[in-house]
Structure 1
Amino acid sequence: MCLKVKEVADLVGVSIRTLHHYDEIGLLVPKEITESGYRLYSEENLETLQQILFFKELGFSLKEIKKIMNSPTFDRQKALILQREMLMEKRARVDQMITTIDKTIKHMEGEIEMTNKEKFEGIDFRHNQYEQEARKRWGDKSVDETNTKIEKMSQNERQDIAHKWDVIFKQLATLRNQSPNSQQVQEAIKEWYNFLNENFGTYSLDAFKGLGQLYIEDERFMKNIDKYGEGLATFMSEAMDFFSGNQKKQR
């Protein structure tokens, strides 16, 4: 059952205007808008909103949140695990700051002495450590470049791309028992190469080869790709390596 915007606002504790703004910038688009103009939010919308608010609590801007959540490599469960780790770190930092405040009060009352270093324990505003960790996990340049194109897409276009992505991976999964160098496999890998270049920016042959290496070096990629078939990530990496080298020879 879908909820109206006021019901969501009351449930979550955010303003209606905030939800309207999230819709306007494409961060949280309601599942449906009725003929009367009412925004209706699904269970999936609420899960997305939860994720957004966790990121906001950790100091991310709406622009940064949108980029991260639109990344092709974004995994909601892994994001929740990371957010928990970040919040635990934040809690430890807040606890340290409270301890520093308590010690400072005692220092002012003459009960204890504090060094200059102790006066600033738990205080560090030089960078957003949570943003750095997220960027490290989901990529920086790749996230930015990909979202330049994704942000311009309609919901239907995004669904179409997701479908094509799924079809290509399923096709490659059926071929993974063949040699990565075989003609049929190489034709399928070429489809993947063309798909990336058509939808996610320009991939040089070296970048395409590097992406294939990432499939086996980063366990997150390997796990997600191998959902289509055991060993698919390694198979694709080898096929992409051969494709890149072979295309260079032909040029």
Structure 2
Amino acid sequence: MRTVKEVSELTGVSTRTLHYYDEIGLFPPTDKSEAGYRLYDDRAIEILQQILFFREFGIPLKDIKTVMKNPSLDRNQILQLQREMLVEKKERMERLIASIDKVLKGDNKMDFSVFTKTEIEKMFQLMFDSMPEEMRQTAIGEFGSLEHWKKHYIEAVSSEDMQKRYAKVVEWYGGKDAYLSTLENPISREVAESYKKREDTIRKKLIEKRGSDLNSFEVKAIIGEYGFVMKQVCQMKEEEGLMLAVAQSYRNRQCQQAIDQEYGEGAAEFFAQAIEAFYCN
């Protein structure tokens, strides 16, 4: 068994920090001496090492505590999670080093890709897992095999153009971790269908105000409701960027035709203008 001072000397963590970790329930001692001093065994040192790994990534203490106290995660699962985080960090560092090397050679184009290859592979798997079986088989049939489909997906998402688009999407979600968390925990099909019906109701209310002042309270109230719904269905931190993208999509020829056919000639442009008036003024 080791004392707080010995653990501090072994790990480089101050005794004050070890006391604090105990106070918040993150890293309690294995036992206490008759005099009341904290004592730690080898297993405790291993747990502290895992905590320090998480701290290396800037993860808040309350989140580390949640992971460490999760009964569904054993030692190997936590280590595997930390290994994946280290691999992602390694890939990111390697990409930045390669970018610096290019600059040193005279190529001033830096690489600020949003997702690493490991993260893109994870995104593919999340998409695959949530996709209906018939859609999976259709896609596999089109690409010839699951591996060919996955390779195409990784190459497409890794492209500079797609990374720029994802940078904007990640911004809407308030960060990459928040975006990936949304992918891991999508809303149910029933809830999505409910939101779709609500969006249709909102559009119908909005088209009734066609011809009204775009800055009127009535129009703005409807757009405000539209934005709230989109924020919920997409589980976003802020919806402004998404709503402006929606406005742009209404001007896409195919989308415009579909909207005008359902809500009347010129509806798509009216929807786009109403959204822009709300978020840009």
With the length of structure 2 as denominator, give the TM-score of the two structures: 0.40
Greater relative CO (CA pairs within 8 A, separation 6+): 1
Question: Which one has a bigger Cα radius of gyration?
Answer: 2
With the length of structure 1 as denominator, give the TM-score of the two structures: 0.44
